Amino acid sequence: MIIYLKNKHTLEVDDFRFRCSIGKNGKSKKKKEGDKKTPIGCFGIENLYYRSDRFEKPSTKLKCIKIKRNMAWCDDPFDLKNYNKLIKLEKRIKCEKLYRKDHNYDLLIPIKYNYLKPIKFKGSCIFIHLTNDYKPTLGCIGIKKKDLLIILKLINKKTKIKII
CATH number of the domain within which 36 lies: 2.40.440.10
Whether pLDDT at 8 is above 90: no
Whether pLDDT at 49 is above 90: yes
Residue 133 CB contacts under 8 Å (≥ 6 apart), including other chains:
none
- Given phi > 0 = left and psi -120 to 50 = alpha, else beta, which region is 84? left
Note the pLDDT of residue 135: 96
What is the distance between the alpha carbons of residues 160 and 121, in angstroms, rounded to a whole number?
23
Q: Express each pLDDT in 104-151 by its tens digit.
A: 999 999 999 999 999 999 999 999 999 999 999 999 999 999 999 999
What is the distance between the alpha carbons of residues 29 and 124, in angstroms, rounded to a whole number?
14
Structural domain total, the chain: 1
Distances from the Cα of 3 to the Cα of 6, 33, 86, 103, angstroms: 9, 24, 23, 23
Rg (CA), the chain: 15
Which residue range forms the structural domain that includes residue 103?
Answer: 2-163
Global pTM value? 0.94
